[in-house]
Amino acid sequence: MAGAGERNETVRAIKRLGRRLWKRWSGYHRRSLAEEAMSRLKRLGERLSAREPAYQVAEVQIRCAILNTFTVLGMPDTVPCA
């Protein structure tokens, strides 16, 4: 199985580097965030309701603004501990 070899290599890399470092090294977080953003966009509806191109542009911009708001609301507040 081709996928099993890739999975085994990933598991070895995680054991060698640790999960946190592996996620940064592999770009896992970026992919995960991109997939989540697309999922939220699809939940807003897969089709545009406007017919005119100018209104479609406005509708897409509104959807992007909503997604950005979701992202800001979902981001944790980090506080340095010393």
- The per-residue pLDDT for range 21-57, each reduced to its tens digit, is 888 888 777 777 778 777 877 777 778 888 999 999 9
- How many structural domains comprise the chain? 1
Tokens encoding 8: 């085994």
Q: Is 23 within the bounds of a domain?
A: yes
Q: Is 6 within the bounds of a domain?
A: yes
- The per-residue pLDDT for range 1-12, each reduced to its tens digit, is 567 888 888 889
Cα separation, 68 vs 75, whole angstroms = 11
Q: Quick check: pTM over 0.75?
A: no
Tokens encoding 37: 């953003």
- Say what the pLDDT of residue 52 is: 92
- Say what the pLDDT of residue 1 is: 59
Going by the DSSP 8-state scheme, the letter that residue 76 receives in this structure is P
Tally Cβ neighbours within 10 Å of residue 72: 8
Going by the DSSP 8-state scheme, the letter that residue 8 receives in this structure is H
In this prediction, residue 58 has a pLDDT band, given cuts at 50, 70 and 90, of: very high
What number is the average pLDDT over the span 56-72?
A: 85
Structural domain span for residue 8:
1-40
